[in-house]
Structure 1
């Protein structure tokens, strides 16, 4: 999940580790401290889930790509499969699925009596329509061409060369049976269907209301566990259970998504009992650890934050200069002194807990430490400058762009990095901040663009637990997520080596032998790190607090339960707890 609007991308918790949080409720304005686990009355069954953003960008599953939007979408819509709390595929609309011996023909049988939230029947035709719509050029989806590109004809459909995939590669054989034909074998195909771009929308609602269909979400638009009953833009979204949901009904009677500007504000809201959970700023970690009833949790996320540079932009079309910038940084010191050990310093791309994580991976030029190597960085810079014909006077101005609302710790780390590039390399790096949404747009516009961003700070969190989501999805030369333009600059001396790395990715993508494909991804990852496709800085550990009254909360990759697991969550009579009176 890209950090276009931030959550890693600091908006929502991307907890990709197996962590069942059986939580209890928060310090509220109520001075009566109850310790009972009994379920609170219905009017108190309100879960307040803060969103670190001004608003969501969309409710359209086909278009959503940031954490805030995908979380809101997952409340109202669902798909054939999703990722559950144990990071395993969970059947949702699908009752079963199988693949033919050819490895490319998949058959999905739907659960019986599926309905949209207004009671309209949901059939295989609706699933096929939704996937085809996501790929249609008129939808202008950034994510569908990436996550659904395995489907036969997807590229032609998205480019306008094919009018539809219905009855071509998306074949509703019966009301409860859908056949999907792929263009090639892929071991990770089912994972790609867990992303929101394939979630099912009601064709009737879209055709009735056209571009305004998202203003009528309660009229049968989706089949997810909740319905939107109130949406005050810039303030909050109110959800209530969908009476026609296919799974066991949620126990909470309302879920509220209030919008906040940053994690510091959210934490203050937690302290005053306005929200059910919060991410803990590093300066508050010691304090949060002292909260009673196990409110504090610190769990590694499958989220990595990094610096990256445009391969098409000078001076970063020189490998040694890229390596010099990477090795000038002491990630270990930043993690300790700035982040107070709430993050894991990283040389890797694929994080811990993801299959294929390589604990033996080294930094550029074989440097094993996350403390960098200042002496080697200086040597590499001088060699790179000589290769590119630079002097100190002619060395290009470097501009690092990052989001204006990053947490204070991230900002302090960026300042420390700027100082390191100056003290170790003698290079002045200009810092430029932009609004978070604008940064996402600029990153998108940098793909195949030598005049795009030069250097930026960004993050990525898993959409699904497979290394393909971290390697070929991000760095394949044809992936539009490859805004770094890896293997796009044929003027670089190691261009052919980069193409070999791309071939490793392609081979891993199609290999059905799990052990073999993981080794191939590891080989590709080491080459990417050597080429400084990213300068990985840290993996987040997501220190959070949850009110003791919240029971059964087990987050998925999007930070929220799988659709059919909302029934496990309820609000108990324990206190302190959220004061949700204004939402009743």
Structure 2
């Protein structure tokens, strides 16, 4: 890595102080500083090393704090680390931790807490679904520890002293610092986990180092967090209470939003145009770094019919994404023929032939491919699609069902709650599964790495060229060359059926201040927010 660039990054970090809420001139604070936000599903866990969900990350980001945070535009800014230095060869990062950082029980946050957490993430005994993330970070011995071939103590992370953390990488990784905003890298209080075991995340037991503490969690109903007086910047935290309220039906959620029970809600599919006209100061649509697709189970447990790439191609061709985006969703989403979100920083979209075809030509080719595979309306292909509870997911699934049926595909829709859905995906207990991938950091590798043979990759896609491309991308002068080729392989092999790239389509009360509007990651922190008089 270029030394000048590394030293510039360091200078930027030092120049940008970590900041909590900054009340804008002219804003008058409300007497009650509470924020009620919508959750689609129950929060499976608030364990930083075991969470896999976007909504879980939103909660964990308020209960814990990592080395780095994101600002309102997505730039990395200090968290527990006040600064860092990078060795000339780009392989060693030395983080200086702020001495004022404390756990919610008053214990100091130390470098050893990060070492413990990172070892815990990699340790096979933890059985973290995100253990692969530390491999993507290229931490020394990560792959060997995750595989159980080396003890966790040999992971390339160590506490030089209580306030100095040293991380050693196997290769220079330009986006390494961006990866540190992810919840799986957040610290743990070892003595609390050892005392309470699997119950350490329960209210009353959990000890975090974030701006808030967990005070209530009614699974599938609500989750409550209150201001942490031990947080190092507590004096500048304005919101005193955050409450996540689970509402599976977004139409019910909209009613509750309009009744004042929710301050933020994802707009139900198809309602953005009307709500934008009626409530121009509340309805917003922003680019959001998530992609929506149907994952294909290519494992031995998957259906034989989907092992045929021409069948997968037919299914992908027959999906009229313009109808889904323009008539069903209507919120600024974009049709997707690839995996990586178009707004990811630096990403260069490859040329995907399917994207430039007319829908009539796509449908005609889909029909031909299915007929060649032996499937017609008289001899249909029978498939089951799993999806988690949501009216929006159901609407899209019904549309897909209708688009495929005239071509000889009978699609059974199988709805289940989020935890069951993800558990079944993890165990390859599905044929097609609705899924969305949201960027863990703002760089294209966060998308393409999903389909590595050793990635999260629940459909068990495996392609040697693809794996090698991602291996080569880390040290490439222009990794977009590898990313583009990787996307071309995905578009040819189709281990997924891409459907659309997200927009963040929300109703937000005008008195809520401090939510990011210019960060494609849409990463929010309660500590940066406040409520004005209304």
Q: TM-score scaled by structure 1?
A: 0.80
Residue 267 of structure 1 corresponds to 254
Q: Who is 1:317 aligned against?
A: 307
- Name 2:40's counterpart in structure 1: 52
Instruction: Show the counterpart of 2:28.
Output: 38
Is contact 1:61–1:199 with CA below 8 Å preserved after alignment? yes
- Residues 320 and 109 of structure 1: is their aligned pair in 2 closer, same or farther, counting only changes over 3 Å? same
Q: Are the equivalent residues in 2 in contact too, given 1:75–1:226 (CA < 8 A)?
A: yes
1:369/1:81 CA distance change after superposition, 3 Å: farther
1:352 is matched with which residue?
342
Query: 1:452-499: per-residue Cα shift (whole Å, max 9, x none)?
Result: 42222221111111111000x2111122x1122222xxxxxxxxxx42
Does residue 214 (structure 1) correspond to residue 187 (structure 2)? The answer is: no
User: What aligned pairs does 1:478-489 form with structure 2 within 5 A after superposition?
Assistant: 478-479=454-455, 481-487=456-462
1:395, CA displacement in angstroms?
Answer: 6.9
Match of residue 504 from structure 2: 542
Residue number among 372, 384, 396 corresponding to 1:400 in the alignment: 384
Is the contact between residue 313 and residue 366 of structure 2 (CA under 8 Å) also seen in structure 1?
yes
- Assess if the C-alpha contact under 8 Å between 1:83 and 1:464 holds in 2: no
Q: 1:396 to 1:173 in 2, by over 3 A?
A: farther
Distance 1:233 1:417 in 2: 32
Q: Aligned equivalents of 2:431 and 2:160: distance in 1?
A: 50
Aligned with 2:479: secondary structure? helix
* 1:72-151 correspondence to structure 2 within 5 Å: 72-149=59-136, 150-151=138-139
CA deviations on 1:150-185 (whole Å, 9 max, x unpaired) are: 22222332344333326x522211221111122333
Pick closer, same or farther for the CA change 1:300–1:393 going to 2, 3 Å.
closer
Which secondary structure does the structure 2 equivalent of 1:542 belong to? strand
From the superposition, tell whether residues 324 and 284 of structure 1 become closer, same or farther in structure 2 (CA, over 3 Å). closer
1-side partners of 2:384 and 2:23: how far apart?
Answer: 40
Say which structure, 1 or 2, has more relative contact order (CA 8 Å, 6+ apart).
1
Matches of 1:164 and 1:357, distance apart in 2: 35
SS of aligned partner of 2:330: coil
1:571 paired residue number: 531
CA shift for structure 1 position 293: 6.7
| 1:81-480 matches, cutoff 5 A | 81-149=68-136, 150-165=138-153, 169-215=156-202, 221-247=207-233, 249-292=236-279, 294-312=281-299, 313-340=303-330, 342-359=332-349, 361-364=351-354, 367-369=356-358, 373-383=362-372, 385=373, 390=374, 397-408=381-392, 410-423=393-406, 425-446=407-428, 452-471=429-448, 473-479=449-455
Does 1:501 pair with 2:461? no
Match of 2:488 in 1: 526
Residues 96-154 of structure 1 show CA distances to partners (whole Å, capped at 9, x for unaligned) of 22332333222111123221122211111111111112222222211133344522222
SS in 2 for 1:322: helix
Q: 1:257 to 1:371 in 2, by over 3 A?
A: farther
**Stretch of structure 1 that moved more, 73-82 or 248-257:** 248-257
CA distance in 2 between counterparts of 1:359 and 1:401 reads 28
Q: CA deviation at 1:359?
A: 4.2
CA distance in 1, matches of 2:251, 2:237: 30
Conserved 8 A contact 2:285-2:331: no
For residues 125 and 445 of structure 2, the distance between their equivalents in structure 1, rounded to whole angstroms, comes to 28
> 1: CA distance between counterparts of 2:434 and 2:468?
27
Q: For 2:435, what is the secondary structure of its paired residue?
A: strand
Q: 1:17 maps to which residue?
A: none
Shift of 1:212: 2.4
Q: Give the distance between the partners of 1:91 and 1:484, measured in 2 at CA.
A: 37
- Number of the residue aligned with 1:581: none
| C-alpha distance in 2 between matches for 1:405 and 1:128 | 37
Q: Take 2:344 and 2:68, find their aligned partners in 1: how far apart are those partners?
A: 19
SS in 2 for 1:470: helix
Distance 1:86 1:51, change over 3 A: same
Cα shift at 1:305:
0.9
* Contact 1:398-1:455 within 8 A present in 2 as well: no
TM-score scaled to structure 2, two decimals? Answer: 0.87
Deviations 1:178-206 (A, max 9, x none): 11122333223223332111111111222
1:553 and 2:501 correspond? no
Following TM superposition, the consecutive aligned residue runs of length 4 or more in structure 1 with deviations greater than 4 angstroms are 21-24, 216-219, 366-372, 390-397, 555-560
Q: CA RMSD in A?
A: 2.8
For residue 253 of structure 1, report the CA deviation from its aligned partner.
1.6
1:316-357 CA-partner distances (Å, limit 9, x unpaired): 222222211111221112222222354221212111220243
Q: How many residues align?
A: 507
Query: Which residues of structure 1 form unaligned runs of 5+?
Result: 1-20, 25-35, 447-451, 488-497, 575-584
What is the alpha-carbon distance in structure 2 between the residues aligned to residue 23 and residue 334 of structure 1?
Answer: 40
CA contact (8 A) 2:84 2:95 kept: yes
